[in-house]
Amino acid sequence: MGKNAVMVDEIPFPSEFMMNTKPLPLMGHGITDIEIHFLQIKFTAIGVYLDPEIVSHLQQWKGKTGAELTENDEFFEAIVNAPVDKFLRVVVIKEIKGSQYGVQLESAIRDRLAEVDKYEEEEEEALEKIVEFFQSKYFKKDSVITYSFPATSATAKISSTIEGKEDSEIEVTNANVVEMIKKWYLGGSRGVSPTTISSLANNLSAELS
């Protein structure tokens, strides 16, 4: 990673990531955490890599501040829907069983789908496969989970890298499930990581001006 790494909570993230032979810059980063009795427990660090072309799809928000964009869910809806390559890199800070992570993902996606009446048998099957993919894994600190969302199709590739284990990946082909995975991480006020959302808003605000 060398000198071009950005530190996110003491974890290095490359400043860009190659996807489909195109470099995607790190456009936002943050953590997922919880506070229990005034004690902050951090779970993961997150890096969001986006094709710079995304700016051309966000022109109507030109001139808005990062703070204004952070509060604007329509802006994040436009990020989710923009037809550009997107890549998420999630690094584990506090070790977690894959089954736990899978269930968190599943319940968040299922709830979002149910809200908009898009939770049918196909979605259930797609989610079951994702849960199965995570089921037997154990994510030690510094394990990496990545999500690739190509511009050209409504699919996602989820991969995991755990020290001492072979990398593994799964493709998700259900467009509704893919959309909600994007929204889980990039969904504005309902995104899983508020720090990532505000970082994205501030950086894109700067890009747009």
Question: At residue 141, does pLDDT exceed 80?
Answer: yes
Q: What is the mean pLDDT of residues 141-148?
A: 98
Calculate ∠ Cα 159-164-170, nearest 5°: 15
Give the predicted TM-score (pTM) of the model. Answer: 0.96
Question: At residue 146, does pLDDT exceed 80?
Answer: yes
Can you give the pLDDT at residue 4?
Answer: 81
Q: What is the mean pLDDT of residues 106-132?
A: 97
Can you give the pLDDT at residue 3?
Answer: 54
- pLDDT tens string 158-197: 999 999 999 999 999 999 999 999 999 999 999 999 999 9
Cα–Cα distance for residue pair 137/132, rounded to 1 Å: 10
| Domains with residue ranges and CATH for the chain | 5-53+82-186 (3.50.70.10)
- pLDDT tens string 41-98: 999 999 999 999 999 999 999 999 999 999 999 999 999 999 999 999 999 999 999 9
Neighbours of 91 (CB within 10 A): 22
Burial class (CB in 10 A: 0-12, 13-18, 19+), 1: exposed
Can you give the pLDDT at residue 1?
Answer: 43
Sole residue written with tokens 């504005």: 188
Cα 77–chain centre separation = 14
Can you give the pLDDT at residue 20?
Answer: 86
- pLDDT tens string 18-34: 998 899 999 999 999 99
Q: What is the mean pLDDT of residues 1-28?
A: 89
Question: At residue 2, does pLDDT exceed 70?
Answer: no
